Amino acid sequence: MEKVLEHYAARGVFRGFSRVGAPAGKAAFRLLWHRDRVFEVVLDTKTRRLTMPVVLPEVPADSTIYSELRAFVQSKQSTDTVEHRRIDPAAVRLRCTNRRSQAGVSVTVMNGDYEYAARKLIHLVQEIYLDFLGDGKYYDYVVETFNLDPDRM
């Protein structure tokens, strides 16, 4: 799994990448990525779960954006999604999380293929930023949350 993240870092997908300390049975990594934000990826081998605890900050659990984010994430395992973008439900189980208005995503590895899970988690977050947020529906959220200058977008 770490090799997958290192590969993306070497290709310039992330502007920064490092392994950070974690309790026994876990591995944690920091990525400098979308909107120059630091993302944490945690691998818990005991639960077979890869988690990005904060993908979208400042998203209340009872909000429309969180409800639609959950639907967007779940749609990635639907047969309605083109095959090369689909996430195999036999390989991983997707889940959105929300703790203290911090929306995250996790994948539970079902078949032991942590590399597949890591690639799909990175692709999913990429699609959240480019497709889910990129369609303009959440323009105000993006401007306010990421402190962007609307005149430069």
Per residue in 46-89, pLDDT (tens digit) is 999 999 999 999 999 999 999 999 999 999 999 999 998 999 99
Q: What is the DSSP string of the chain?
A: -HHHHHHHHHTTSSSEEEEE---TTEEEEEEE-GGG-EEEEEEETTTTEEEEEEEESS--TTSHHHHHHHHHHHHTTSTTS-GGG---TTTEEEEEEEETTEEEEEEEESSS-HHHHHHHHHHHHHHIIIIITTTSTTHHHHHHHTT--GGG-
- Nearest alpha-carbon partner for 54 in 97, 94, 92, 8: 97
Q: Does 132 map to a domain?
A: yes
Which class for 29: exposed (0-12), middle (13-18), buried (19 or more C-beta within 10 A)? buried
Q: What is the pLDDT of residue 152?
A: 64
Q: Does 107 map to a domain?
A: yes
Residue in this structure with the two tokens 């969180």, named with its chain if needed: 66
Total tally of structural domains belonging to the chain: 1
CATH number, residue 131: 3.30.1460
| Domain containing residue 139 | 2-144
pLDDT-derived band at 1, boundaries 50, 70, 90: confident
Average pLDDT across the chain, whole number: 94
CA distances, 101 to each of 75, 91, 135, 145 (Å): 22, 28, 22, 12
Q: Does 153 map to a domain?
A: no
Q: What percent of the chain has pLDDT over 90?
A: 85
Contact 141, 53 (CB under 8 A): no
pLDDT-derived band at 29, boundaries 50, 70, 90: very high
Q: Does 85 map to a domain?
A: yes
Q: What is the pLDDT of residue 90?
A: 96
Q: Does 149 map to a domain?
A: no
Q: Does 19 map to a domain?
A: yes
pTM of the model: 0.93
Q: Does 151 map to a domain?
A: no
Q: Please give the average per-residue pLDDT across 101-121, as a whole number.
A: 97
Q: What is the pLDDT of residue 138?
A: 94
Q: What is the pLDDT of residue 22?
A: 87
Q: Does 150 map to a domain?
A: no
User: Would you say residue 153 has pLDDT above 60?
Assistant: no
Contact 74, 94 (CB under 8 A): yes
